[in-house]
Chains A and B, each alone.
Chain A
Amino acid sequence: MEDARQEVPPDTAEAIYDTLWAASEVPTRAPEGIERVMLAEDKLYVVLAVVLIIWFGLIFLLLRTDRRLDNLERELEDRIPEDASYE
């Protein structure tokens, strides 16, 4: 690792990182299992996984809010049987 660092011409940060990665020769073996799917298409599917995690989190929040609204509406029906004038 130390040798690889010294060989790098210190032009830009990108060059250093790039050469470091190339020098350490990853991946050491062909991807298998879930990696064969997730690393395809320039790792595009990793982004899909991230987007879906966020989206499912938002769905969870939305459904919880709905449940609270259900309860609130029910409570309101019980407590205020007469119409509060709104028009």
Chain B
Amino acid sequence: MTTLAKRIVQGGPAGVNVRRYRIIRNIVLVAVTAIAIGGFLIDVPRIQILEHTARNLYFHVPMWFTLMAAVTFSAYHSIRFLQTGNLVRDVRAREAALVGIVFGILGLLTGMVWARFTWYQGTNIWWNFDPKQTMAAVQLLIYGAYFVLRSAIEEPQKRGRIAAVYNLFALVTVPFLLFILPRQAPSLHPGADGNPAFSDFTAPEMRWVLYPAFIAFIGLFWVLYTQRVRFSLIKLRLHGDSE
């Protein structure tokens, strides 16, 4: 086996170190299991309207932190692609954005269900264009367009370059759409428009689950992302193009 072939599939420039992947994967799987158990077993204060749904904090909020980590990671690889022209970087940028979007969709859906039975209890409303939810949906559409853009270009290097530049612009919108704009508007989401932010009402014991949950779910993203990168690198090596 030649060194270059080995580099593409495993180590080398931006390849996957399978041994390291396996170790981190096993840690992550145990960690997410621990989060699920801790999220259910550790007692939470029963607050009006929220009741047991306060436990959603451990699962819903990490989805969005994972999306933000994923798209930042994706943008990093886009920059590296623009620097090097190494298609492995393009593969990594794409897979990070894709798995990130999946977490974003899960965040939006879990938020909808949570809102339906708290904010909109007794109203039968599932979607009311709350600014936070609307902006989050727009954010996902912006990243959806990244894939539409990719699918429109045949030549891998050109596709990679244009998509990378778009990806950097997309990242710039993230803090505005997920934080700044929703907080300017009257939203029911915590942290908006004079509502208590997370730090004001969250019981200290919940942080023991919440903070590890951020790390665990970002780790889960990394596992799913790396698995897809491995798959795409095999395809890249066979076809000279990973799409």
A77 to B5, CA, bound (A): 7
Residue B237 lies at the interface, judged by CB distance under 8 Å to chain A: yes
The interface-forming segment of B29-37, B95-103, B116-124, B168-176 is: B29-37
Q: Which A residues are CB-close (under 8 A) to B88?
A: 86
Q: Which B residues are CB-close (under 8 A) to A78?
A: 1
Q: Which B residues are CB-close (under 8 A) to A48?
A: 36-37, 40-41
Q: Which B residues are CB-close (under 8 A) to A52?
A: 33, 36-37
Residue B210 lies at the interface, judged by CB distance under 8 Å to chain A: no
Q: Which A residues are CB-close (under 8 A) to B227?
A: 62, 65-66, 69
A45 to B52, CA, bound (A): 12
A42-B52, A48-B36, A85-B240 known; A77+B1 contact, CB < 8 A: yes
Instruction: Tell me whether chain A's interface is mostly helix, strand or loop, or mixed.
Output: helix
Q: Mark B212-237, 1 if CB is under 8 A from A, else 0.
A: 00000000000110010011001011
B86 pairs with A80, CB closer than 8 A: no
Q: Which B residues are CB-close (under 8 A) to A33?
A: none
- The residue that A73 contacts in the complex, of B36, B223, B224, B230, with Cβ under 8 A, is B230
Q: Bin chain A's interface residue count.
A: 20 to 34
Chain A, Cβ-Cβ closest to B35: A55
Instruction: Tell me whether chain B's interface is mostly helix, strand or loop, or mixed.
Output: helix
- The residue that A51 contacts in the complex, of B1, B6, B36, B223, with Cβ under 8 A, is B36
Q: Which A residues are CB-close (under 8 A) to B18?
A: 70, 73
Residue A30 lies at the interface, judged by CB distance under 8 Å to chain B: no
Residue B71 lies at the interface, judged by CB distance under 8 Å to chain A: no
A65-B227, A66-B227 known; A44+B240 contact, CB < 8 A: no
Q: Which B residues are CB-close (under 8 A) to A80?
A: 5, 237-238
A86 to B9, CA, bound (A): 12
Q: Mark B20-59, 1 if CB is under 8 A from A, else 0.
A: 0010010001001100110011000000000010000000
Using CB atoms and an 8 Å cutoff, list the residues of chain B in contact with chain A: 1-2, 4-6, 8-10, 18, 22, 25, 29, 32-33, 36-37, 40-41, 52, 85-88, 223-224, 227, 230-231, 234, 236-240
Using CB atoms and an 8 Å cutoff, list the residues of chain A in contact with chain B: 42, 44-45, 47-48, 51-52, 55, 59, 62, 65-66, 69-70, 72-73, 76-78, 80-87
30 A-B pairs in the complex with CB atoms less than 8 angstroms apart: A42-B52, A45-B41, A51-B40, A52-B36, A55-B33, A55-B36, A59-B29, A59-B33, A62-B25, A66-B22, A69-B227, A69-B234, A72-B234, A73-B234, A76-B9, A76-B234, A76-B237, A76-B238, A77-B5, A77-B9, A80-B237, A81-B5, A82-B2, A83-B8, A83-B237, A84-B240, A86-B8, A86-B88, A87-B86, A87-B87
